[in-house]
Amino acid sequence: MTYSSISFVAARQEQAQDALKVLIERYGLVPPEQADVIVALGGDGFVLETLHQNMALDTPIYGMNRGSVGFLMNAYDPDDLKARLNRTHGTDLHPLRMAAWDTDGKKHQALAINEVSLRRESRLAARLKILIDGVLRMEELICDGILVATPAGSTAYNFSAHGPIIPMGANVLALTPVSAFRPRRWRGALLPASVAVEIKVIDPDFRPVGATADFDEVHNVARAIISEDRSVSMTLLFDPEHNLEERILSEQFEL
């Protein structure tokens, strides 16, 4: 595909704003809804924010690293940008949809590109039941929390919690406990992307638990259902030598 009209967006950090001025001066600027591609200047958090903000546009997003973390970003270079964009490879992402009910019975919904996590909100450990497609798989997990991660998000919070790195296209999700106390040796599971993960909080009034789906937070959660929403698709663009599949693969061999 040929990308000719470019929309630039940037994080608030000085280096991102400086890059924004340089690129607009060289290539001009169109609104996101009129662009062939959106170039996001910042770090991983900012490109996730850009994906969320432009989810309804179905416009590819190309990140250039002007932040502190750049796993989802390409290297910053203001030269020959249009030619560079036309050489990119696209990776399609499908978010997780979280439906969470709080202790008052109110339902909350949100989308997550990286992960949905549940975590304790007091000094007391969380006590959780885990059901997969309605089948009880774990009667009680005592832990600080648990998360469901997509392949794109598997190198983020999931990896820090000792979860597996998942190659793009593997069509699986990671279910990873955070500081599991009992069963102490349980390290999580890899699940088909088609399943629905239901997490029920045991005694949520005494042991409060919160849920986070990327930028959305819900407090005092009683239960949550997490599943991949394939009706929503987003495209991230990567330079041929810097594609996401290769980055996920190489990350597993870094010490």
Burial tier of 169 (Cβ tally within 10 Å: 0-12, 13-18, 19+)? exposed
**Which helix (DSSP H) or strand (DSSP E) does residue 208 occupy?**
none
Spatial CB neighbours of 201, under 8 Å, sequence gap ≥ 6: 118, 126, 127, 128, 207, 209, 221, 222, 223
Instruction: Using DSSP, state whether 215 is helix, strand or coil.
Output: coil
How many Cα atoms are found within 13 Å in the side-chain-facing hemisphere of 21? 6
Q: Which of 18, 36, 44, 214 is catalytic?
A: 44
Q: Name residue 74's amino acid.
A: N
In the DSSP assignment, the letter for residue 75 is P
Residues 103 and 209: their CA atoms lie apart, in Å, by 10
Residue 214: enclosing H or E segment and its boundaries?
A: none
Q: Active site includes 58?
A: no
Count of positions (residues) in the chain: 255
Active site members: 44
